[in-house]
A = this chain, B = another copy of it.
Amino acid sequence: MTLPARYYTDPEIFRKELERFYFNRWICAGRSSAIPNPGDYFLCELANESVIVTRDNAGDIRAFYNVCRHRGSRMCEEQEGSLPGKRITCPYHAWSYGLDGALIGAPHAERPGFSRADYPLKPVRAEHWEGNVFLHFGTPTETVAELLARVATKFANWRMSDLKMHRRIVYDVKANWKLIVLNYNECLHCPFVHPELNPLTDYLGADNEEPNSTYIGGVMFLRNGAETMSFGGSRSGRAFLPGLTEEQRTWAGFYAIYPNLLLAPHPDYLLTHTLWPKAADRTEIVCELHFPPEEMAKPKFYADDAGNFWDLINRQDWHIAELSQAGISSRAYVPGPYTKREELLRAFDQDVLAIDGE
List residues of chain A with CB under 8 Å of any chain B CB: 2, 5, 48-50, 65-75, 77, 91-94, 107-109, 111, 114, 119, 122, 182, 188-189, 191-193, 320, 323-324, 326-334, 336-337, 339-341
A49 and B331 form a contact (CB under 8 A) = yes
A336 and B70 form a contact (CB under 8 A) = yes
Main secondary structure of the interface of A (DSSP, over half): loop
Q: Which residues of the other chain, B, contact A68 by a CB distance below 8 angstroms?
A: 327, 336
B92 and A332 form a contact (CB under 8 A) = no
B74 and A326 form a contact (CB under 8 A) = yes
B329 and A48 form a contact (CB under 8 A) = yes
Q: Which residues of the other chain, B, contact A189 by a CB distance below 8 angstroms?
A: 92-93
Q: Which of B2, B108, B336 contacts A339 (CB under 8 A)?
A: B108
Q: Which residues of the other chain, B, contact A74 by a CB distance below 8 angstroms?
A: 323-324, 326-327
Nearest-Cβ distance from residue A105 to partner chain B, whole angstroms: 12
* Most chain B CB neighbours (cut-off 10 Å) among A75, A77, A192: A192
B323 and A65 form a contact (CB under 8 A) = no
Given contacts A108-B188, A108-B340, A188-B108, contact A91 B330 (CB under 8 A): no
Subset of 21 A-B contacts with CB under 8 Å: A2-B72, A48-B330, A48-B331, A50-B330, A65-B330, A67-B330, A67-B333, A72-B328, A72-B333, A72-B336, A73-B327, A74-B323, A77-B323, A92-B320, A92-B323, A93-B188, A93-B192, A109-B339, A111-B339, A114-B337, A119-B336
